[in-house]
Amino acid sequence: MASANTHPASNEPVKRIAVGRRTILGLGALGALGIAFGNSIQNFLGNAFGSGLGGILPGGDRFRIYTITGTLPKVANHDYRLKVSGLVERPKTFTLADLQAMPVTSFTKPFQCVTGWRVPNVEWEGVLLSDLLDTVGVKPEGVALTFESYDRADTESLTIDQAHLPDVIVAYRMLGAPVTTEHGGPVRLYVAQMFGYKSLKWLSAIRVVNTVQPGFWEQNGYPVNGWLDGSTGPTNPEPSLE
């Protein structure tokens, strides 16, 4: 084809193709497909490559590190204390060694943020919250828990029933290592069936109370019961440990 034929000022009409419009529509369609199926693609990649390589893939196993205060509270292992008080028979302050001496619960479960990102296959290890509550003995009038954080800003809540779910743990290991400061170490909460904001980081205190006191994120508009399935009650009181 002679190049002169393509000259815009030539008298001969030149056939032109709207490449720009097609490309933009094509990329837009790809984006829409990605929104619809990205979750499945991501889960597939996460399962195919595991949490190691998955971390460097776009949208793969990647935690977004959030803090309310803008800083990460650093707590040394030997300084760590978990104060359990309120409507209990035997109030107790646990050290990290105390927690590690208790029966160990571990499982592999995803971390799902309410804003959309998700990290599949996270290894969790710690103490069942129900074991901890059995140690201190919840009084009959205690119906809910209030959690506090070393960041002095975040708070959370669970009902006593929710706290007894077999996948709610006080975790001191995560991703095959001690919980790092970014992830809320040395000790954090992990509530498997709820969105990530319920899994309070840098856990410093648990109080047994007689009413549910909405935590920081709930006061900012998030559901008090942050069930992953969007329901308002414990629809799955005896979940299987997948």
Partner 1 sequence: MTITRTAQSTTRILRFDRVQRSAHWANATLFGVLMFTAIPLYFGSFFGIVFQRHVVEQIHLWSGLALPLPIIVSLLGPWGQQMRRDVRRFNYWTRSEISWMRTLGKSPLEADKFNPGQKLNAIFIGAAIIVMLATGSMLQWFRFFPVPWRAGATFVHDVFSYAIFAVVIGHIFMALTHPGSLRSIFTGRVSEKWAKTNAAGWFKEEQLTKDSPEPR
Provide the edge-to-edge strand list for the sheet that holds 155-159.
92-95, 81-86, 203-209, 144-149, 155-159
Tell me the C-alpha distance between 61 and 50, whole Å: 8
Tell me the C-alpha distance between 26 and 34, whole Å: 12
Supply angle C-alpha 187, 192, 68, rounded to 5.
Answer: 55
Residue 92 is a binding residue for partner 1 (CB under 8 A): no
Q: Which of 11, 12, 16, 242 binds partner 1 (CB under 8 A)?
A: 16
Tell me the C-alpha distance between 40 and 45, whole Å: 9
Pick 7 or 152: Cβ nearer partner 1: 7
Q: Which of 63, 92, 135, 224 binds partner 1 (CB under 8 A)?
A: 63
Question: Beta partners for 190?
Answer: 169
Asked if 81 and 193 count as a contact pair (C-beta separation under 8 A), the reply is no
Residue 235 is a binding residue for partner 1 (CB under 8 A): no
Residue 199 is a binding residue for partner 1 (CB under 8 A): no
Q: Which of 109, 118, 198, 207 binds partner 1 (CB under 8 A)?
A: 118
Q: Which of 48, 65, 97, 101 binds partner 1 (CB under 8 A)?
A: 65
Residue 28 is a binding residue for partner 1 (CB under 8 A): yes
Q: Which of 104, 114, 205, 224 binds partner 1 (CB under 8 A)?
A: 114
Q: Footprint of partner 1 on this chain (CB under 8 A)?
A: 1, 3-9, 14-21, 23-24, 27-28, 31, 34-39, 41-42, 58-59, 62-67, 70-72, 112, 114-118, 180-182, 228, 230
